[in-house]
């Protein structure tokens, strides 16, 4: 929908699907998936240790095709996350950062205490910060209060494909948030992405659900449809759930329905 733009920090997007770049069989499958999905934002992981090294190929290919959102995947301390964000800004020439700061390597769950601290530092340093966080409405509000441009609560732990474990919390966050809400992590299939939008999310970020599916390009297309469908359904105003059946055509004539 050309008339349903979505803004983060003043930048407008028409697609509400963000795509990760990890785990694809090869670069071409990723690029075809990107096209099939219609996504305009792509997140890439920055690792200090390899900053000298390669992969410029993908970066070059993405230039002009997608808005780059570097992330701090794998960081477990404030210092590490902040430094990684700064290196990303230098290397990719963007002040946008998806801030990941995990509490342990087993659950990959965000460490919200450190996350708030790192987010505040990066905001002060001029970054546009999009933090990967828990589905905790108080933490989400706090992240917005320290100046984050959006919040990215999880649906389920990274890579699990379990969908949205707690729709109630996601809906609560969306209803109260002063910044855009982007569901991040846990999506397994199209209906999960549609549900995220129906709950009020402004966008969905996913990676494994596409890259590790049997047919990533087709699944990318599925996710594009699902996000568009979920968004439209949200805007359209769904029927209330009723506990009792109700005939759709109770008393009509020849062509009642």
Nearer to its own copies, 10 or 178 (CB): 178
Ligand-binding annotation for 163, yes or no, is no
Q: Which one of residues 34, 73, 152, 183 is an interface residue with its own copies (CB under 8 A)?
A: 73
Alpha carbon distance 114, 153 (integer Å): 15
Residues 138-155 as b/e (b if ≥16 CB within 10 A, e otherwise) read ebbebbbebebbbbbbbb
Alpha carbon distance 81, 87 (integer Å): 10
225 to 8, 12, 61, 190, 210: CA distances (angstroms): 22, 20, 24, 8, 13
168 binds its own copies (CB under 8 A): yes
Q: Is 98 a catalytic residue?
A: yes
Ligand-binding annotation for 118, yes or no, is no
16 binds its own copies (CB under 8 A): no
CA atoms within 13 A on the CB side of 106: 0
**With CB under 8 A as the contact rule, which of the stretches 6-14, 45-53, 77-85, 120-128 interacts with its own copies?**
45-53
Site for its own copies in 127-166 (CB under 8 A): 134, 136-139, 141-142, 156-162, 165-166
Task: State the minimum distance, in angstroms, from the CB of residue 225 to its own copies.
Answer: 3
Nearer to its own copies, 10 or 60 (CB): 60
* Contact residues for 186 (Cβ-Cβ < 8 A; gap 6+): 154, 155, 156, 157, 158, 160, 161, 162, 163, 164, 165, 192
Alpha carbon distance 97, 42 (integer Å): 11
Alpha carbon distance 24, 174 (integer Å): 31
CB 150, CB 174: distance < 8 Å: no
212 binds its own copies (CB under 8 A): yes
Ligand-binding annotation for 20, yes or no, is no
5 binds its own copies (CB under 8 A): no
Rounded to 10 degrees, the C-alpha dihedral 122/128/134/136 comes to 100
Nearer to its own copies, 56 or 93 (CB): 56
Catalytic site residue from 79, 98, 212, 241: 98
Ligand-binding annotation for 185, yes or no, is yes
Q: Which one of residues 10, 64, 126, 240 is an interface residue with its own copies (CB under 8 A)?
A: 240
The 175-194 site mask, x for binding its own copies (CB under 8 A), equals -------------xxxxxxx
37 binds its own copies (CB under 8 A): no
Binding region for 1-deoxy-D-xylulose 5-phosphate: 159, 185-186, 207-208
**Active-site residue numbers?**
98
């Amino acid at each position: 929908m050309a008339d349903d733009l979505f803004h983060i920090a003043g930048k407008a997007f028409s697609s509400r699907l963000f795509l990760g770049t990890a785990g694809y069989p090869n670069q071409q499958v990723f690029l075809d998936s990107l096209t099939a999905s219609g996504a305009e934002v792509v997140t890439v992981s920055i690792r200090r240790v390899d900053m000298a090294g390669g992969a410029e190929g993908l970066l070059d290919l993405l230039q002009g095709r997608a808005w780059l959102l570097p992330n701090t995947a794998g960081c477990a301390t404030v210092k590490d996350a902040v430094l990684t964000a700064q290196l990303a800004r230098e290397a990719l020439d963007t002040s946008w950062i998806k801030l990941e700061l995990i509490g342990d390597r087993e659950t990959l769950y965000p460490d919200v205490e450190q996350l708030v601290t790192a987010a505040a530092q990066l905001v002060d340093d001029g970054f546009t910060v999009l933090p990967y966080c828990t589905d905790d409405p108080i933490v989400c509000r706090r992240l917005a209060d320290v100046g984050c441009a959006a919040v990215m609560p999880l649906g389920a732990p990274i890579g699990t494909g379990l969908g949205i474990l707690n729709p109630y919390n996601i809906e609560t966050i969306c209803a109260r948030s002063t910044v855009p809400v982007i569901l991040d992590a846990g999506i397994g299939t199209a209906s999960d992405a549609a549900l995220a939008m129906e709950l009020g999310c402004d966008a969905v970020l996913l990676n494994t659900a596409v890259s590790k599916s049997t047919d990533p390009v087709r699944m990318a297309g599925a996710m594009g449809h699902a996000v568009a469908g979920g968004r439209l359904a949200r805007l359209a105003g769904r029927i209330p759930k009723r506990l009792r059946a109700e005939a759709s055509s109770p008393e009509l004539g020849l062509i009642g329905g």
